[in-house]
Amino acid sequence: MKISVPREIKNHEYRVGLVPHSVAELTHRGHEVFVESRAGAEIGFSDDDYIAAGAKILATAEETFAAGDLIVKVKEPQLHECARLKPNQTLFTYLHLAADKPQAEALMASGATCIAYETVTEPQGGLPLLRPMSEVAGRISVHVGATYLHKAFGGRGVLLGGVPGVAPGKVVILGGGVAGINAAQMAVGLHADVTVFDVNPHRLIEIDTAYGGRVKTAYSSKGAIADALKDADLVIGSVLIPGAAAPKLVTRDMLKTMKPGTVLVDIAIDQGGCFETSHATTHQEPIYLVDGIVHYCVANMPGAVARTSTLALNNATLPYVVKMATMGVSAALAADPHLRAGLNVCAGKITYKAVAEALHLAFAA
């Protein structure tokens, strides 16, 4: 199979779909890999590294997209990238279509087969291709939250861990999934006062047991969240409904009850965000204020640590790329129901129910 790896073009996005070691695994199996020049250069993977792994370097995005049967990316394609896709091609990347109708319609118009990392499943019930980036985003969320609590950025001027004689900052984490647990781990490490909200009582028991009481747990109800926000210094939104738009757990009215300079970090922004006042930001301009509350809503948070993120993502995606390259995409989808769960767009139709419902588009089973 011919596999193409374009250079990512979103703001401050330096991740790459395949690293040289992944390319070597594919070329060793007899597949052709085409990599756009400098696709991995910003995170230490040179064109020479890819050539040594057996890849062919192409000068432009147009050439790279045209060369492959399977296009492996990281972030969702921009509209002009969607226009480069053909009906006989397969796109394998994060899509997050539930919050992006223009992209969904552009992918439908392309006729390409589009498989979303974030809805591929596993026998245990998890989301194996979303997990590594959720781990990274959860950990980053506490780093950036602690930074933007600095007074110079509009924050409250609170040190999350406090000091002897001064109480630690209060961190509220909405969602006890992979991102939320990783956020809690980092916040506990900084000696913050941490509370995790979730709707799954069993999950709350697991968190309580794992942290031996160092993390408080609470059932996620509107009233309980509203009460917690009044005293919070940092609020991390990490709720997830696979493939669907994120629920709005923090309303604009709730902001008025919060302390000025409180920081909101919306990990769910790729799925539309879980704060009513969220809108996507970039690493170049990461924050904005609403009613005195700092919002950090960068849509590609793991891109801040692009080398770590790329390596972690490749560990998860490579087995699926190998399977599709070896069996062919149609056969791989037919044989693996968990890969098939990642199919979001095919032959001009939306094939993932939650996406169709979120965008009010027809669903094709």
| Active site (catalytic) residues | 96, 270
Q: Hey, what amino acid is at 358?
A: A
Could you tell me the two tokens for 177?
């999934």
SS3 letters across 208-269: HHHHCCCEEEEECCHHHHHHHHCCCCEEEECCCCCCCCCCCCECHHHHCCCCCCCEEEEHHH
Cβ neighbours for 322, distance < 8 A, ≥ 6 positions apart:
25, 26, 29
CA 274 and chain centroid, separation: 14
Cβ neighbours for 279, distance < 8 A, ≥ 6 positions apart:
273, 288, 297
Type and span of the H or E element at 287: strand 287-290
> 């695994």: which residue's tokens?
25
